[in-house]
Chain A
Amino acid sequence: MMKAIVLRTSTTLCTFVALIAMGSASLAQAQLRVEISGVGANQIPIAIAGFADEATAPQQVTAIIKADLARSGYFKIIDTGNIMSEAAPVNYGEWKSRGADALVVGSVQRLADGRFDVRYKLLDTVKSGQLSALSVAAQPQFMRVSAHKIADDIYEKLIGVRGAFATRIAYVTKAGNNYQLEIADSDGEGRQIALRSNEPIISPAWSPDGTKVAYVSFEAKKPVVYVQNLVTKQRTVVANFKGSNSAPSWSPDGARLAVALSRDGLTQVYVVNADGSNLKRLSNTNGIDTEPQFSADGQSIYFTSDRSGGPQIYRMSAAGGEARRVTFSGSYNISPRVSPDGKTLAYISRRDGKFQLYALDLSNGQEQRLSDTSKDDSPSFSPNGKYLMYATDSGRRGSLAVVSVDGRVKHRLTVQNGDIREPSWGPFMK
């Protein structure tokens, strides 16, 4: 059951809306709470009818689709009390007069083999025609994913960019000395614990195929890089050289990881195979080189270096060699993340003592501050490049925040007890 307060928007003012998801009671953990505080400049008015026969299904797909589209910031959900299957005739004029540019209808059906088939149609009320139709059949435990896939289809057909609702996120929670690496859906639902420890866990990084997560664990009383297969629970030590091992970043083909190692004295950038073999040093300075990040085409590595005095962001070839400085504003720029299309660099910059999320247009050097908070950390792009998730402080506790790359769409994810930090947005998956 979802409780939603209707969103009133204007292009200049942002209103606060609390969307508290009170989903099914099958989870052992408390839900992540979602709070929307900003929406896009233009919102498409869309009506979403209740899907026929969904009451008998394990998940209420209509509510999930509505929440996804509302959270995206680009849709204004028009309330409709109707239930409409995709087979029912549609009076386009009526919906257009209700203010909807688009209408979503659908149904849920239980198949003989136990799977649930979700069918839907996306209709254009202005052109009086069908924009899309999709049917997704899945086992009951994957119904949420089915709903997210439909929301992704709606998003893609109307916004023109692939939707990222059916993706997952990884993050770390801390309560006292209890640390957990958790995996959840992009909306914070379906939390599952991948790793429990009484020592810190930092820097989770998804493998490109979404089946493994690399991370740094302090269980050996020093930082060591592990790769864990989420399905089999198998853990591989990727880097445990003398000194500290950290900051894993996968190459786009999933074969290698760039890491930061202090084995030669100070922290420098290296590349190693995913099984820990074939170590190669890439950077060679007398300062700190860390936080390597492969670009999406695998040709470059962005990283943090204080070779010029304070930490700044540089780019070098993935084979190592000369590095070019990328950030020039401010004296402290760290945590580079490059967008999937290679055009935008996200990073954390310290200005006037505040650590804030920035985005840099790599073609013209224009930077934009994306947050109003003061302790931002660990940015991560959504796989469609439209949003950034990052860690921040909300009151006395750590929480996750999401902002669109243009700075307008904003929402937060908070957990009731403990800090939540170190987010990493997972890849597209089938």
Chain B
Amino acid sequence: MRTLNILAVIFSSAVLLSACSSVKLDDKAPVVENAGSGVPGGGADARSVGTVTTGSTDPLNDPQGVLAKRSVYFDYDSYTVKDEFKPVVEAHARYLSAHKDRRILIQGNTDERGGTEYNLALGQKRAEAVRRAFALLGVPDSQIEAVSFGKEKPKALGSDEAAWAENRRADIVYQ
């Protein structure tokens, strides 16, 4: 019996919690108004309620936005940010300039080939290249720390070109 009661509590809590939406208040969030036409007179229509959905529009959390891209990929033996990733850097630089309280960690990685410590330094070169790109766009060092994982934390396991390419990468991590 006690199990049933506990289950009932858990179930009803879950139902209650799912019924709440998480609303993040942001004073810059635009308020979406229902632009419906004026409803004439009484009757059932006057009692209808239209749902307005609002919430924070922190672009950082938009899965479709450019800020959802957090990785810069590098060619073999290369430590410069390719043109195709400049838009990603620029977008994050704009966000950081608009949100001076946010900080990022840039984590550099290498593929698995080579020595542990030397690869740590090569990964650092990649992180540093991205940091420099941010600096050129006006983001101060107080908002960025460039670090390296070398070959210690590969995202792709495997010893083929595809895995190696996936691991030659710098990630932008918001703190």
Contacts and interface: CB of A to CB of B under 8 A. Distances in A.
B125 interface: yes
B158 to A, nearest CB: 12
Given A266-B125, A290-B121, A355-B115, A200 B153 contact: yes
B49 to A, nearest CB: 47
Contacts of B124: 243-244, 262, 266-267, 288
A290 B117 CA distance: 7
A228 interface: no
Interface in A190-248: 200, 202-203, 218, 221-223, 242-244, 246-247
A116 B50 CA distance: 88
Contacts of A350: 114
Contacts of B128: 262, 265-266
Contacts of A218: 149, 152-153
A222 B120 contact: no
B174 interface: no
B130 interface: no
Q: At the interface, is chain B mostly helix, strand, loop or mixed?
A: mixed
A332 B125 CA distance: 17
Contacts of A260: 117, 120-121
A187 interface: no
Given A222-B147, A267-B124, A304 B116 contact: no
Contacts of B147: 221-223, 243-244, 262
Nearest to B112: A375
B160 to A, nearest CB: 14
A203 B116 contact: yes
Interface residues of B, number: 23
A304 B145 contact: no
B118 A290 contact: yes
A366 B75 CA distance: 36
A171 to B, nearest CB: 13
B155 to A, nearest CB: 13
A377 B122 contact: no
A202 B118 contact: no
Chain B CB within 10 A, most for which of A203, A223, A244, A355: A244
A243 B58 CA distance: 28
A424 interface: no
Given A218-B153, A221-B105, A262 B118 contact: no
A422 interface: yes
B152 A267 contact: no
Given A244-B124, A262-B124, A265-B128, A377 B116 contact: yes
A355 to B, nearest CB: 7
Interface in B127-175: 128, 145-150, 152-153, 173
Given A246-B120, A288-B124, 13 more contacts: A202-B116, A202-B152, A203-B116, A218-B152, A223-B149, A244-B121, A244-B148, A260-B120, A266-B128, A267-B120, A291-B117, A335-B117, A335-B118
